[in-house]
Structure 1
């Protein structure tokens, strides 16, 4: 029975999501809130942590794999490896810290450099929306930047859970869309290659 269960789990579509952003913007808080419905205020990540969860995305059971980077990855090679393994990215900054917002441009550049692909599923996330009175980044400013990049912008609060599920599910939809269009390209209009099932791990 257990074997069946793990077999079933391994046959689910897996979407690999990477949390990217400066240290202290709440990447871990968002991840833990999404995974376990709990708010962890003082989380001191020393290394990247990986989480996996089964969710229902638009009626389909899938798995999400979240890599929560520690934000202070000093080794570019390690960071590049993380980015290479990701299918979608949540680019997180804190609305209370303008520097973390500025840093999103650099992170995006790194992702584009490593991925070398046209369309990369990405959502810009302004976290800590519960701290409105300490806001340093306006909604307009963040929205404008996201529009320039052609990606969605969503504000979240790991504390109140506002939009936490939304950003992960929106990103998974973007990842799924990309996979579907890639499969279509691969199979070609004639569908000649459809019978061949090849899984590259």
Structure 2
């Protein structure tokens, strides 16, 4: 088996959308209920996608808003991005679009491996953003789209596998997967 490929991902979105919850659920298999605003953390995990192992470093960013300056550190050395909004927040859906624009402006590339994530699908009665709205936005970006629940660990691993597959496809070295990845 080939040695693990090193990939660096950034997870971004408005505050309180569940970026840290998704990351911690993926890396440590636990849901953190208490909200403690993140400054910026980096997590690391080895994951196998198809026949390839990846050593992924996940930069869990502080919550962005429409006024925050896009950190220059996130435009260098990052292989792929996970942009998260909460399906219960119109504001977070608007902010993720602003983050996407800033991301493309800062990086200067048209094609960037991005997975758009609608998180908190377990809050069915509080949903404001429909699946179709998220899917339409992702399609307009040529990005993958996944809805998830960090709390219930629904589709969490799929998010990170999907961004790795996009990175590899972008690099022209797409791994052979054991099974198809289902993206909502």
* Category of TM-score, reference length = shorter chain: 0.7 to 0.9
**2: CA distance between counterparts of 1:46 and 1:145?**
26
2:167 aligned with 1:175: yes
Match of 2:95 among 96, 99, 103: 103
CA contact under 8 A between 1:13 and 1:63: conserved in structure 2?
A: yes
Structure 1 counterpart of 2:182: none
- Which one of 119, 129, 142 corresponds to residue 121 of structure 2? 129
2:131 to 115, 133, 139: 139
Contact between 2:38 and 2:61, CA under 8 Å: does it hold in 1?
Answer: no
Q: Deviations over 1:18-58 (max 9, x none)?
A: 00100100000000000000000123134110011111111
Structure 1 residue ranges without an equivalent (≥5): 1-10, 182-201
Q: Which residue matches 1:114? A: 106
Partner of 1:87: 79
Unaligned runs of 5+ in 2: 174-184
- Equivalent pair of 1:28/1:43 in contact (CA under 8 Å): no
Conserved 8 A contact 1:92-1:125? yes
| Superposition deviation, residue 72 in structure 1 | 4.4
Q: Distance in 2 between matches of 1:75 and 1:102?
A: 14
Off by >6 Å, runs of 4+ in structure 1: none
Kindly tell me: are residues 141 and 46 of structure 1, through their superposed partners in 2, closer, same or farther at Cα, counting changes over 3 Å? closer
- Where does residue 5 of structure 2 map in the other structure? 13
TM-score by length of 1: 0.80
Counterpart for residue 44 of structure 2: 52
Q: 1:145-167 CA deviation, whole Å, 9 max, x = no partner?
A: 11111112110000000000001
Higher helix share: 1
Larger Rg: 1
Q: Decide whether the 8 Å contact of 2:8 with 2:79 is kept in 1.
A: yes
Per-residue displacement from partner, 1:41-83 (whole Å, max 9, x unpaired)?
1231341100111111112111111000011487626x12223
TM-score normalised over the length of structure 2: 0.87
Report how many aligned residue pairs link the two structures: 170
Partner residue, 1:156: 148
**Using the alignment, how far apart are the partners of 2:172 and 2:138 within structure 1?**
24
C-alpha contact 1:21 1:103 (8 A) present in aligned 2:
yes
